[in-house]
Structure 1
Amino acid sequence: MPPFLRRHPLATVLAAVLLFVVLAVGTLPGILKGIPLGLDLRGGFEVLYRVEPIGGGSVTRELLAQTQAVLERRINALGVSEPDLSVENPDRIRVKLAGVTDEKEARQILAAQAELTFREVVYDPQTGRLVPTDKVLLTGADLKEGSARPEINPQTGEAEVAVAFKDPQKFEALTREYYGLLDRRIGIFFDNEMLSAPVVRAVITNGQAVITGFKDLREAKNIANLLNAGALPVKLVEISSNVVSPTLGQAALRHGIEAGALAAAFIAIFLTVLYRLPGLVAVFSLSVYLYLMFVVLWGVPVTLTLPGIAAFILGMGMAVDANILTDERIKEELRAGRPLRVAVRLGSQKSLRSILDAHVTTILAALVLFFLGTGSVRGFALVLITSNVVNLLTNVALSRFLLHLLVESPLLGKPHLFGVREAEPHVA
């Protein structure tokens, strides 16, 4: 220990406490606002899909990865912040969208096949309608990536989607072939539903075209987003879904915070009354633990859910256990007649193995949950692992350092400050 710390132990600890309080008060509000909340705390929409290959075949990892990539692009188009999209073997994909209020629109955008085709349609004189043939002229794969954009036609006031083709000459040849024909046209189909079949009134040489036939600009925007995200390589079959209203999410968050605050207050009182000076050190270490946990959740970032809050509080309980084990060992050494400095050193050493065993076994169990579990189980495991690691840094390393430092102060080197009466008989 540096000589300066030995000469001024109490001043050093008080300065550290003051510095921490200033840091926490100045940064904690912004950190708490920046922690992403799961749909059970914020409200939102969750759906589990089964992946079915188009045309048969087996579900491969590559197929799941392609499907996940398309869904991620579609979610980005929805403007959802912090989406949670996970693959669950062998053929499941789970999507969690916190903050989504229109579940119907989300379902349509996520599960739509989004297959765009330009097909030949011919006039049927018997029905007086345009009938599609089996001749596919172009597909969505012929479009430039990200070229689709919704807009309003300034002349008609109708919503439309402007697109651009990779090969302008190919589209030019197509418009030249169907130029001016009334009984043979280029039909534009989206998921086998014909949007429009306009008469080609000009040969288009620049590879630009517009798709019409939308009810409003919102529908045109959704179609444009789907085209930019790409067609799904599979069919998605919905297995289950869950919708949490924002009101229920806020109530769950409020109850979780209240439970955590009450637990923290009770623990602080308990430790201070029973263990006195080591209890105060434990309360400070717990405060540092809570602050660092919030920093980790904000910085990684980890989406906080109700199971995550449960893991958070469970980690706080293990932190209290670590402090209690150490403090009880110190009291035993004091009752055995050891000098205070020796008692603190021996008590810390003898309790360390039990604390490490408890934390390592908990981390191993949490790792099993993380790798074998799904959804909220993995979130619980991740927060539990993080809390155990932070706990070892604060409620083990920091607490012991502060205790060893404080016993160097003449003002604090009294057994009764450690919960042991000086008149207590020594136990051999």
Structure 2
Amino acid sequence: MLVVLCFTLVMFTGDRGNTPRLGVDLQGGTRVVLSAITPDGSSPSPDALEQAQEIIATRINGLGVAGSEVLIDGETLVITVPGQDGAQARTLGQTARMYVRPVLNAQPAPNAEQSSPDEGTATEDEPRATLPGDADEAAALIEEARGTRQSEDPETQAATLAEHECSPLDPLAGNDLPDKPLITCSNDGQVVYLLGPVLIEGEAIDSGSVSGGYNQQQARWEVSFRFQGQASDDWAAFTRQSVGQQAAFVLDTAVVSAPVIRDPTPAGSATSISGNFTEEEVRDLANQLRYGALPLSFEASQAQTVSATLGLASLEAGLIAGAIGLLAVLLYALAYYRLLGVIAGLSLAIAVGLVYGVLVLLGRYINFTLDLAAIAGFIIGIGMTADSFIVYFERIKDEMREGRSFRSAVERGWQRARRTIMTGNAVSFLAAAILYLLAVGQVKGFAFALGLTTVLDLFVVFLFTYPMLSLAIRSRILSNPRLNGLGAITDVARERAQQEQARAGSRTNVEGATA
């Protein structure tokens, strides 16, 4: 039933594809170089680069085990993701500095398209980027933008608001001053806003409360969260005093949502950011808010295609090696265990089917990618599944050597074997979990695959192998020692019984003669 359910989900949900996602080493990927830009044009500190690397790696983990890499190269970060779409890599490198600012004024952008914008605006397919150029040029552009778009002079504000044209290339992205007003645009470039100084910073968001989902009542995608500490009280006070006004949620100077405050929000209550979001945009935004802003702003280069480091030939070689190993195990099991070997073969087939189906679903829903290290983890895990069968079968043989019937041996052997099986799998899962927590890159994928297969091993042994043997003992044919491969064990048990009877008879004769 689990196998049927698994493959039903594979065939009738999502994109209905039946192949797993492949990692960079097998299918190639996309590489994006993020160049750090500081407001004064100075070189970024090593600590800031390491912190940015850690946050981006955490964002990747928040999207699932995606087989991506984040490396520091001088004053740049290099992100490599599987596949040919570089949008995800550029999104991961977005500064994601969230501010909540009051809306002082708003009007259509001079270069806006003729459309009616929504109060909540959607993020673009391409994230907002910083201006290109060397560090000195970028610093000069940042200073110039601050002089006009963050001016406190009303005349300068009015002139800039009327003339400002929206562009995804914003020198203030991640570099705006929180204690100054800001003239900026909605993410769709339709509206220009004059915003007041920052009310609440993104660091005040409770990361554990961030979630993205679909609001059935409002029929829209949204991200919900709660503010923590003093920010929760500040937000409650602001909404109480500003009913009917707009508050802008600003992400790297882009207004992602500017809802009208309809009712006061009590302290500690959830707040949501909504708009014309897609599911992917909501997931990315929630991921950015959950793991915090980068300490630096970055300029993203054009995405470059990276060829597979190993290639499909290595994938085929790994799969062939695994298939040969499983076939050898099956042939040995059939020759040594006969009927028990058939059940072992069916159990292994079930295990392989479950692993493949779950692999496809994980690639679809959490972006798990199959690389050569993960293949090794799956093969080792399936091999350990075979170990569980052997433990159980040998327990059955031990019981039969002691003179018990096949029926009795199956039940008593299971009672003795299951604790050993659970202990062995617990040790393997613990090792995989520790390796997953401490490792990075492909080693993390290996640990994930090993841990997953270990869990599926228990499902197979408890829900298939043992029930199949419980059915076999009800059949006269399958219980026949000459057919189920336990004839030699039965002969050994008979010989032991005869020897015991002979020894018992000898002791009786000796005792009688002594008497």
**TM-score normalized with structure 1 length:** 0.58
Q: Does 1:406 align with 2:417?
A: no
**Corresponding residue for residue 25 of structure 2:** 40
Q: CA deviation at 1:100?
A: 3.3
- In the other structure, the counterpart of 1:181 is none
Mapping of residues 51-130 of structure 1, within 5 Å? 64=52, 68=56, 84=67, 95-100=79-84, 114-116=129-131
Task: Please say if 1:249 is aligned against 2:311.
Answer: yes
Q: CA deviation at 1:271?
A: 1.4
- Whether the 8 Å contact between 1:363 and 1:385 is mirrored in structure 2 is yes
Q: Percent identity?
A: 29
Partner of 2:383: 317
Partner of residue 165, structure 1? 192
SS at match of 2:79: strand
Q: Contact between 2:376 and 2:446, CA under 8 Å: does it hold in 1?
A: yes
Please say which of residues 412-421 and 51-60 is displaced more in the overlay: 51-60
2:322 match? 260
* 2:187 aligned residue: 146
Kept in 2: contact 1:35–1:297 (CA 8 A): yes
Q: 1:27 to 1:271 in 2, by over 3 A?
A: farther
Q: Which runs of 5+ in 2 are unaligned?
A: 96-127, 133-139, 150-171, 177-182, 196-284, 498-515
Spell out, residue by residue over 1:231-251, the C-alpha distance to the aligned partner (whole angstroms, 9 max, x if none): 97516699xxx9852484222
Deviations 1:331-390 (A, max 9, x none): 222233211101111222222222222111111111111111111111111111110110
1:315–1:384 Cα contact (<8 Å) kept: yes
CA distance in 2, matches of 1:133, 1:49: 18
Candidates 276, 294, 299, aligned match of 2:338: 276
2:403 is the counterpart of 1:337:
yes
Question: Distance in 1 between the 2:353 and 2:307 partners?
Answer: 29
Q: Tell me which residue corresponds to 1:328.
A: 394
1:348 aligned partner: 414
Distance 1:351 1:133 in 2: 69
Classify 1:418/1:28 alpha carbon distance in 2 versus 1 (closer, same or farther; 3 Å): farther
Figure out how many residues of one structure are paired with residues of the other and give that number.
Answer: 315
Task: Read off the aligned partner of 1:100 and give its amino acid letter.
Answer: Q
1:369 paired residue among 435, 444, 447? 435
Cα distance change of structure 1 residues 61 and 134 upon mapping to structure 2, 3 Å threshold? closer
Q: Distance in 1 between matches of 2:383 and 2:371?
A: 19
Q: Deviations over 1:24-51 (max 9, x none)?
A: 9988789773422111121124689898
Q: Distance in 2 between matches of 1:69 and 1:279?
A: 45
The correspondence of residues 5-24 of structure 1 with structure 2, limited to 5 A, is none
Distance in 2, matches of 1:25 and 1:133, equals: 54
Letter in 1 for 2:29: G
Alignment partners' CA distance in 2, 1:247 and 1:295 = 26
1:159-179 CA-to-partner distances (Å, cap 9, x unmatched) read xxxx853249xxxxxxxxxxx
CA contact (8 A) 1:68 1:85 kept: no
Q: In the alignment, which of 360, 363, 370 is matched to residue 304 of structure 1?
A: 370
Alpha-carbon distance in 1 for matches of 2:453, 2:409: 29
> Per the alignment, in what secondary structure is the counterpart of residue 318 of structure 2?
helix
Q: Structure 2 counterpart of 1:294, which letter?
A: Y
2:378 maps to a residue whose letter is F
- Is structure 2 residue 445 aligned with structure 1 residue 379? yes
1:228-247 to 2 correspondences below 5 Å: 234=296, 245-246=307-308
One-letter amino acid of the structure 2 residue matched with residue 424 of structure 1: D
Residues 83 and 395 of structure 1: is their aligned pair in 2 closer, same or farther, counting only changes over 3 Å? closer
- Offset at 1:134? 6.0
CA distance in 2, matches of 1:399, 1:370: 29
Measured after TM superposition, the shift of residue 318 of structure 1 is 0.4
The change in CA–CA distance for 1:312 and 1:32 in structure 2 (over 3 A counts) is farther
CA deviation after TM superposition for structure 1 residue 71, in Å: 8.9
* CA shift in 2, pair 1:299/1:71, >3 Å: closer
Post-superposition Cα deviations, 1:127-165, rounded to whole Å, max 9, x if no partner, equal: xxxx989644344564324235xxxxxxxxxxxxxx853
- RMSD over aligned Cα atoms: 5.1
